[in-house]
């Protein structure tokens, strides 16, 4: 679901910079998209158009690649990104509950929704991050949290939100309003 307030402003000079570093040939498609996503957290349409205009990569290839690989997203992401690992070890040890409990505090009811309505957090499922002996695992930003139960995930999120000054639109926000 796209959230207009989170749309990035693309400076063509940045895109030009990446193109001169990474090349204009078709094999540069993946690294270029990775550079764009690294900067904006997603692939803004304008950046994609600039790549097509200024390289040998045509729109069909670029959009084909962008929609093929799981890493890329076309919608803006929230100010903070949570990655919930759904590798086998995490799955058999209850990774689903992390999603249930995170989505609950974030007030995300619609299944298609992956970003909280206030743009605070995006919850993304990822394939194995390779910490299987510490399953289930999630990442908030770069920080990993091991051996989680659903309730732990919620506690870590609440703590994180407090540190970075985000409001959680889910249940706890209601409780704060009517203690």
Report the residue number, 17 or 146, with the smaller CB distance to another protein. Answer: 146
Contact between 97 and another protein per CB under 8 A: yes
Task: Give the span between the Cα atoms of 101 and 142, in whole angstroms.
Answer: 20
Q: Which of 17, 21, 45, 68 binds another protein (CB under 8 A)?
A: 68
Residues 30 to 59 in contact with another protein, rule: CB under 8 A: 30-31, 33-34, 57
Task: Give the span between the Cα atoms of 50 and 10, in whole angstroms.
Answer: 10
- Are 84 and 144 in contact by the 8 Å Cβ rule? The answer is no
| One-character DSSP codes across 22-77 | H-SSGGGHHHHHHHHHHHHSS--HHHHHHHHHHSS--HHHHHHHHHHSTT--SS--
Task: Give the span between the Cα atoms of 168 and 116, in whole angstroms.
Answer: 8
Q: Which stretch binds another protein (CB under 8 A): 41-49, 112-120, 122-130, 156-164?
A: 122-130
Task: Give the span between the Cα atoms of 2 and 53, in whole angstroms.
Answer: 25
Least separation, in Å, of the C-beta of 22 and another protein?
A: 10
Q: Which stretch binds another protein (CB under 8 A): 3-11, 110-118, 150-158, 161-169?
A: 150-158
Q: Which residues bind another protein (CB under 8 A)?
A: 25-31, 33-34, 57, 61, 64-65, 68-72, 86-94, 96-97, 100-101, 103-104, 126-135, 137, 144-146, 149-151, 154, 171
């Amino acid at each position: 679901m796209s959230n207009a307030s989170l749309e990035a402003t693309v400076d063509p000079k940045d895109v030009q910079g990446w193109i001169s570093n990474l090349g204009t040939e078709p094999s540069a498609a993946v690294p270029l998209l990775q550079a764009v996503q690294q900067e904006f957290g997603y692939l803004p349409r304008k950046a994609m158009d600039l790549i097509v205009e200024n390289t040998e990569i045509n729109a069909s290839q670029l959009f084909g690649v962008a929609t093929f690989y799981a890493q890329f997203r076309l919608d803006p992401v929230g100010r903070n990104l949570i990655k919930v690992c759904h590798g086998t070890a995490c799955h058999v040890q209850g990774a689903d509950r992390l999603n249930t409990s995170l989505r609950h505090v974030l007030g995300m009811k619609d299944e298609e929704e992956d970003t909280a309505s206030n743009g605070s957090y995006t919850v993304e499922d990822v394939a194995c991050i390779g910490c299987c002996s510490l399953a289930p695992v999630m990442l908030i930003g770069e920080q990993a949290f091991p051996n989680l139960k659903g309730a732990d995930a919620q506690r870590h999120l609440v703590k994180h939100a407090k540190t970075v000054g985000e409001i959680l639109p889910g249940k706890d926000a209601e409780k704060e309003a009517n203690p």
